[in-house]
A and B are shown apart, each in its own frame.
Chain A
């Protein structure tokens, strides 16, 4: 009899142990992803897939979309640019001609293509090579101006984001490479906690405005080329980021001490439209959608209004890595595929 009651105790205790952890798991899942304070609008079928193109590697990212051609940069081959023609879906490639490419040590070289010019940059070197394809790309940045993000205004002016060493804060700056000068517009990024982790976000440039979308709170900033800004709100209600910072004295490092709620995951702009991939469910939204699709909210950043939302479904069991919108087309990268969708936007 003794052995029977012992085994029974083991089963009960084991079951309770498992139950406790499972309950904990569901509690934290719910807290992270659910917010009943907003409701999304889903019109019927605003997005329809048109084409899937195998681009063979999963290391591509969008470098630019111009003249019916998509330019894709490659993180593992920095000089390699894949061109996908949208008229006949043909792919071709170019190898950027950068004579003194080998003279520098790179951390994360990136390509952008804008107004028929290529820009190859790495803010930790720092270098910005620029030029059209038939000419050689030359380094246009002679000062030690470091940055981690860059958006092109025109061939001489860029928005950059840098960590300023004196204050350890992230700041946005206007880089003018004609005069080799940078003007940091302090207080453009609105500090809530430490001015470093909590102000992290996404940069996108459209309609002569820089859009800065915060990861951990429900707003974005619309910044003009003089550095004046306005604030827009997303439909989410989390206005104060719940980041906690830990300072590990022994290792001398600042780290995130919790898993803060991510409000905005990805973002892109086209004309006056802002597209934000959110990680949060609103009221009446089925939880499995977070697993099956990326939820994209569309805003008009001129009016600072919410328009509608749609699902960008997963393909090949993968989430869209990146997406871009031009006119009525949405382009997305999944795994080693480029997909082309039709998107209905209001006029």
Chain B
């Protein structure tokens, strides 16, 4: 197995892990959407934007999963996933440090994690995204790499 092929497999594996996480959390949010929106509304940071943000986050998670399936969108998908997770993690960090109380609305079993575990989990996923993005192929030059 050559180097390029190995890289390709790593990127693919990372993408599928992230797809699994996004689909899982987005679905569990969607299944109890009312509850998710109420939790966001109670959040000290998002109170006034809860209606918009609750829909946007779920759509974004599905959309990003979609981009991660295909070779030619994977690179940008990984970069944007990295961005979204950075936002989630900053949010958790601020809530932990500066807020009087902490509602969680991440969805599914991830809600059962303690906040410190949650932070570590997110950092892990961020590193995966970043790593995947660095290894992934440039969409514009995709064909060239492919021939090589």
Q: Give me the interface of A with B, judged by CB distance under 8 Å.
A: 2-3, 6-7, 9-10, 13-14, 16-18, 20-22, 24-25, 28-29, 31-32, 244, 246, 248-251, 255-259
Secondary structure dominating the interface of A: helix
Residue pair B46, A28 in contact (C-beta under 8 Å): yes
5 closest cross-chain pairs (CB), A and B = A17-B86, A21-B90, A258-B41, A17-B87, A13-B83
Instruction: Mark contacts of B127-138 with chain A using CB atoms, 8 A cut-off: 1 yes-contact digit, 0 otherwise.
Output: 000100110001
- Cα separation A21 to B95 with both chains bound (whole Å): 11
Q: Is B4 an interface residue (CB 8 A)?
A: no
Residue pair A10, B82 in contact (C-beta under 8 Å): yes
Instruction: Mark contacts of B53-96 with chain A using CB atoms, 8 A cut-off: 1 yes-contact digit, 0 otherwise.
Output: 00000000000000000000000000110111011001100100
Q: CB-CB < 8 A to B45: which residues of A?
A: 21, 24-25, 28
Q: Is B50 an interface residue (CB 8 A)?
A: yes
Query: Residues of B within 8 Å of A, CB-based: how many?
Result: 30
Q: CB-CB < 8 A to A6: which residues of B?
A: 133-134
- Cα separation A17 to B48 with both chains bound (whole Å): 19
Q: CB-CB < 8 A to B130: which residues of A?
A: 10
Residue pair A259, B138 in contact (C-beta under 8 Å): no
CB < 8 Å A-B pair total: 83
A-B pairs with beta carbons under 8 Å apart, 11 shown: A3-B134, A10-B82, A10-B134, A28-B44, A29-B44, A31-B48, A248-B35, A251-B35, A257-B42, A257-B50, A259-B44
Q: CB-CB < 8 A to A28: which residues of B?
A: 44-48
- Cα separation A258 to B38 with both chains bound (whole Å): 7
Q: CB-CB < 8 A to B90: which residues of A?
A: 17-18, 21-22
Q: With A10-B79, A25-B94 given, is the CB distance from A246 to B38 under 8 Å? A: yes
Q: Give me the interface of B with A, judged by CB distance under 8 Å.
A: 32, 34-35, 37-38, 41-50, 79-80, 82-84, 86-87, 90-91, 94, 98, 130, 133-134, 138
Q: A10-B133, A24-B45 are in contact. List 16 more A-B contacts (CB 8 A).
A: A2-B138, A9-B133, A10-B82, A14-B86, A18-B87, A20-B87, A21-B45, A21-B91, A24-B49, A25-B94, A32-B44, A248-B34, A257-B37, A257-B38, A258-B42, A258-B47
Q: CB-CB < 8 A to B138: which residues of A?
A: 2
Q: CB-CB < 8 A to B38: which residues of A?
A: 246, 248, 255-257
Closest Cβ neighbor of A27 among chain B residues: B48
Q: CB-CB < 8 A to A7: which residues of B?
A: 134
Residue pair A13, B86 in contact (C-beta under 8 Å): yes
